[in-house]
Amino acid sequence: MKRALVVSLLRLGDIMMTSPLFKKLKNDGYEIDLLVNEQFFKAKELFPEINKIYGFPRKSLQEGVANTAVPIFSPFLKVNALAASLNKNEYDIVINATQNKVSAHFVSLLRTNEVCGFSYHEDRAIFHGSWSRYLNDFNGNLDTPIFHFSDIIKNLYKTQEKQNEGVPDSEQVLRSRHIIIQLLTSDQKKSWEIASYIQLVKKLNLALPNYLIEVIGAPNEHLQLDQFAELANKENLKFKISMPTLLQAKELLKTAKLLITGDTSIKHLAAMVNTPTLEISLGSSDAYFTGSYMDGAIIVQPKIDCFPCQHSENCKKTSFECHDLIPVNMVSALAISLTEGYRKDLKVIAEEFKDKVNVYETSLSMFSLYQLLPLTTIQKEYRVEQFISSLAWNFYLSGEHNEAVAEYGSLAVQLRDFLKTTPSRLLIERLKKIESHFFSKEMSASRILDQMRNGMTGNDLVEECFKKLSFNDQVTFKERGIVPQLTRLNFVDLRYIQNSLNRVKDINMVKSKICRTLKSQLMEMK
Amino acid sequence: MSISLEVEKSRSGDIILKYDRRYSCSKISPKNEAQKWIEKNNKSFSFASDIYVIGIGSGYHIEALSTSFPSKKIIVFEQLKGAVKFFKKEFPFLSSQIEIVYESSSDSIKKRIIQQKLFANHYSLVRFYPAFSANTEINMEIEDFLLARTHEGFSAAIQQIEGLQALAKEYKNSLKDISEPISIVELNKKKSLSGSNQQIFKILGELIR
């Protein structure tokens, strides 16, 4: 049997988001081992696809390195021993599902036939495949739509056969009258207030008297759970509090009618077992990148300029204004509709609260990629650009744009079907505008590349890139010290600029092609 | 080394050793003290496959260590002949299980470490303070040597650790000027490291960034 090792040295939620890759590998006949940070060793029980789990002793290594009372080579020997024990397994493929230097250096210690993702050769970073490069350049550096983390990880490994990806489990699960609320997230700015949840449970008690509302949390959240219980008891609410283990939580979710949650690892667990989910996305949570990876989850987001904020930054407002924008009435109405199966009502509710909140439905069926589909008409029109970008990047990263007959037409048909409720006239106007925007970017990049070929370099080149293509918005340029008024550009910088220009040219070419195909199809319909 | 040794009973009834009127372990309950010592250092013990202890004391901490970690190799460093004799007499069943590196000076202990290739093992290093403090200066010298954070220990260690021999050449060329105590951060600054050594040092450097 072929053997694969997946390296996931991030947090629990990230490991869960890697699970679509496990399924893909399993389908291709691999026996899969998983390397995770030691504290998530127990995660194995969540993934039946995993044969063996290994722990990366991050914490003890950190202590060993920082503490001068530890023999200097002790952490060295520990890493060496771990790599040696993994090498005994003779993996056919190693997939680094972590985009950080620790994992990349570690992967370079492993002997294998094939590496997918980020690794190192001596001092040189190597990105095996375009999706790995994309993940590295992501973080606001590209003028792109954002792919879901699971889609990127899944695409790091190219399967030989076309698989039925993203299609939800067709098995009908008999769900119990049970609603689960995950009260907290890992970050206060992402957690809806306990007082709001009290109001929500009150409304759910009234509307759904036969349902059990179970409020869950981790053992280290017991104080907040106690606070909830105290307030809820004062209001005579019907509820249950529990602190399940991960495996218990997975079992609960398997038959629950609905999960209401913020941006938590529990939502990824729910996605793994297809539990209908209502996600309240607040603060720094980024539903495009790490939303519920499943079909039909509902995500609500506040309409406020600062949303989503930076993960590492504290909220700059005097109070969490994004939290106040989420009306309890709306959340309860959405929850009741989802529980009772009135999905048509979701759009009506989204329209009613559209001044304050964006409501999205997740989809995995379109283009085999995670999409956030807006539930209001007006949002759809403005999301056209986002969809086209997403499609174009998928084409580009998969290398399909180089093929003689790319599937532009069939993808445009899917997009057209999705947008059918938007009047064609409006859509054609919008497409014209964005096509000319993409085309002008493609042309600008081509012109600068020509100028480079004719000898333009140094500050003139940088100024041109910054002025015409807004390269100043790309963090990597600043990190590399490529800024206007610089004295000289070395060969590596020049090659970096050239690669960036080629990418801008190609991606905008693909985008304008998709626009043109879609436009002509809409015009045929008229 | 002329240190007078006396034997007496602790309040718990266990026989204990005194060096120059200083107790080599708790005079109340050496067994309790040994348990607490293990709890305190538990993380270090579980980190590596071998445990090196500086200071044999009255031996109760060694007995407890051997019970708690029966599969680990335990090596004790001591310069008091009388203390070693006491241990062998009081814990005869442990004497075969535990290796004692006894020499009367720090230089000869270091020589033994090199001769026995003790750097080649993956070990954690702990002091038993009541015994360690009987001769702090010498014991600190041995400790520094075994931590390999001095140039003397570092250059001896890289000769013995499998996979690190390549560092010996780099040590001659570029690592000699690193300041003591030698740290991973300083090693990482040296561009001359290569191959898997370099990758592992990079990993460790990234972990504490």
User: For residue B196, which residues of chain A lie inside 8 Å, CB to CB?
Assistant: 80, 83, 109
- A13 touches A290 (CB < 8 A): yes
Q: Which residue of A73, A74, A109 is in closest CB contact with B164?
A: A73
- Cα separation of A394 and A130, whole Å? 10
Q: Do the Cβ atoms of B125 and A71 come within 8 Å?
A: yes
Which of B54, B184, B199 should one mutate to test binding to chain A, selecting the residue with the greatest count of A CBs within 10 A? B199
Minimal CA separation from A77 to chain B, in Å: 7
**Is the minimum CB–CB distance between A86 and chain B shorter than 8 Å?**
no
Q: Using a CB-CB distance cutoff of 8 angstroms, which residues of chain A are in contact with residue B148?
A: 71-73
Q: What is the per-residue pLDDT for A171?
A: 47
- B161, A81: Cβ pair inside 8 Å? no
Contact A69 B203 (CB under 8 A): no
Looking from the CA of A242 toward its CB, the CA atoms found within 13 Å total 14
Q: Please tell me which residue of chain B has the smallest CA distance to A57.
A: B47
Suggest the residue from A63, A77, A82 to mutate for an interface test with chain B (most B CBs closer than 10 A). A77
**Two tokens at A185?**
């997230």
Q: Which two tokens stand for residue A265?
A: 């690892």
The SS3 assignment for A339 reads helix
Task: Give me the pLDDT at residue A297, please.
Answer: 96
B194: closest CA of chain A, how far (Å)? 7
In the predicted model, is pLDDT for residue B126 greater than 90? yes
Helix (H, G, I), strand (E, B) or coil at A523: helix
> Given A62, A76, A122, which is nearest B200 (Cβ)?
A76
Tell me whether residues A81 and B122 touch, CB distance under 8 A: yes
DSSP single-letter state for residue A43 = G
Rounded distance between C-alpha atoms, residue B131 and residue A184, angstroms: 50
Q: How many other CB atoms sit within 10 Å of the CB of residue B84?
A: 18
Closest-approach residue (CA) in chain B for A80: B200
Looking at residue A121, its pLDDT comes to: 86
pLDDT in tens, chain A (526 residues): 899 999 999 999 999 999 989 989 999 999 999 999 999 988 888 999 999 999 999 998 998 888 888 999 999 999 999 999 999 999 999 999 998 899 999 999 999 999 999 999 877 888 888 888 888 776 545 545 578 999 999 888 876 444 443 434 444 567 788 999 999 998 999 999 999 999 999 999 999 999 999 999 999 999 999 999 999 999 999 999 999 999 999 999 999 999 999 999 999 999 999 999 999 999 989 888 899 999 999 999 999 988 888 877 888 888 888 999 999 999 999 999 999 989 889 999 999 998 999 999 998 877 778 888 888 866 666 667 777 877 788 878 877 666 655 566 666 676 667 666 666 677 788 888 888 988 988 998 898 888 888 887 777 777 778 777 776 666 667 666 777 766 677 777 788 888 888 888 888 888 888 888 888 877 776 5
Q: How many Cβ atoms are within 10 Å of B185's Cβ, its own excluded?
A: 14
- Shortest Cα distance from B63 to chain A (angstroms)? 23
What is the pLDDT at residue A163?
Answer: 42
Helices (H), A306-368: 321-324, 328-340, 344-352
Does the distance separating the beta carbons of A100 and B203 come in below 8 Å? no
Closest CA to A70 of B93, B122, B5, B80: B122
Does residue A355 sit at the B interface (CB-CB below 8 Å)? no
Q: Give the whole-angstrom CA distance, residue B141 versus residue B144.
A: 5
Return the residue of B nearest to A105 by Cα: B199
Nearest C-alpha of chain B: how many angstroms from A76?
6
Q: How far apart are CA A75 and CA B137, in angstroms?
A: 27
Site from A76, A98, A100, A121 to mutate, B interface, most B CB atoms within 10 angstroms: A76
Measure the CA–CA gap between B170 and B31, rounded to whole angstroms: 47
| Bridge pairing between strands A258-261 and A357-363 | unpaired
Contacts of B8 (CB under 8 A, 6+ apart): B15, B16, B18, B27
Half-sphere exposure of B143 (CA within 13 A, CB side): 20
**A66 close contact with B: CB closer than 8 A:** yes
Q: Kindly list the distances between the CA atom of residue A488 and the CA atoms of A462, A469, A475, A480, in Å, as whole numbers in the listed order.
A: 10, 20, 19, 12
Collapsing DSSP to helix, strand or coil, A73 comes out as coil
DSSP chain B: ----EEEEE-TTS-EEEEETTEESS-SS-HHHHHHHHHHHHHHHHHHSSEEEEE--TTSHHHHHHHHH-TTSEEEEEE--HHHHHHHHHH-HHHHTTSEEEE-SSHHHHHHHHHHTTGGGS-EEEEE-HHHHGGGHHHHHHHHHHHHT-SHHHHHHHHHHSTT-HHHHHHIIIIITTPPSSP-HHHHHT-TT--HHHHHHHHHHHHHT-
- Radius of gyration, CA atoms only, chain B: 19
* Inter-chain CB proximity A70 and B124 less than 8 Å: yes
Is B125's CB within 8 Å of A70's CB? yes
Tell me whether residues A120 and B122 touch, CB distance under 8 A. no
Helices (H), A235-275: 246-255, 265-272
User: Residues 114..133 of A with a Cβ closer than 8 Å to B: which?
Assistant: 120, 122-123
Interface list for A 290-309 with B (CB within 8 A): none
Sequential DSSP letters for A97-139: ---SHHHHHHHTTS--SEEEEEEEETTEEEEESHHHHHHHHTT
Residue A9, chain B, CB below 8 Å: the answer is no
| Pairwise CA distance, residues B93 & B87, whole Å | 10
Tell me if A65 and B204 make a contact (CB, 8 A cut-off): yes
Would you state the structure tokens that stand for residue A222, as one six-digit string?
């017991």
Q: CA A81, B176, B48 angle in degrees (round to 5)?
A: 25
The alpha-carbon gap from B28 to the nearest alpha carbon of chain A, in Å, equals 29
Helix (H/G/I), strand (E/B), else coil: A372: strand
Are A78 and B122 an interchain contact pair (Cβ–Cβ within 8 Å)?
yes
Note whether B124 contacts A81, CB cutoff 8 Å.
no
**Lowest mean per-residue pLDDT among A288-297, B48-57, B101-110, B156-165:** B156-165
Of the candidates B162, B128, B203, B13, the one whose C-alpha atom is nearest the C-alpha of residue A65 is: B203
How far, in Å, CA of A120 to CA of A109, rounded?
9
> Average pLDDT of chain B?
89
The residue of chain A nearest to residue B52, with distances taken between CA atoms, is A71
Instruction: For residue B147, give the nearest of A72, A106, A123 by CB distance.
Output: A72
pTM of the model: 0.82
Q: Give the per-residue pLDDT at B194.
A: 65
Contacts of A102 in chain B (CB under 8 A): 203, 206-207
Shortest distance between the Cα of B10 and any Cα of chain A, in A, equals 31
d(CA B154, CA A73): 9
Using CB atoms within 10 A of its CB, is residue A223 exposed (0-12), middle (13-18) or buried (19+)?
Answer: exposed
The reply to whether residue A71 touches residue B146, judged by beta carbons under 8 angstroms, is: yes
- Asked whether A149 and A226 are in contact (CB, 8 A), the reply is no
Find chain A residues with C-beta within 8 A of B44's C-beta. 70
Alpha-carbon span A129 to A108, nearest angstrom: 16
| Sheet hosting strand B123-127, strand order edge to edge | B99-102, B73-78, B50-54, B123-127
Q: What is the ipTM of this complex?
A: 0.90
Contact A371, A362 (CB under 8 A): yes
Tokens of A13: 């939620």
- The partner residue sitting opposite B199, judged by closest CB among A75, A81, A108, is A108
A84 touches chain B (CB under 8 A): no
| Rounded Cα–Cα distance for residues B170 and B176 (Å) | 9
Closest alpha carbon within chain B to A107: B199
Report the DSSP pairing between strands A371-374 and A357-363: antiparallel
Region for A296 from its dihedrals, namely left if φ exceeds 0, alpha if ψ lies in -120 to 50, beta otherwise: left
Please give the backbone phi and psi of residue A483, each rounded to the nearest 5 degrees, phi first: -135, 160
Distance CA A1, CA A216 (A): 41
Size of interface A-B (CB pairs under 8 A): 98
Q: B71 versus B175: which is more confidently predicted? A: B71
Torsion of CA A439, A441, A443, A445, to 10 degrees: -150
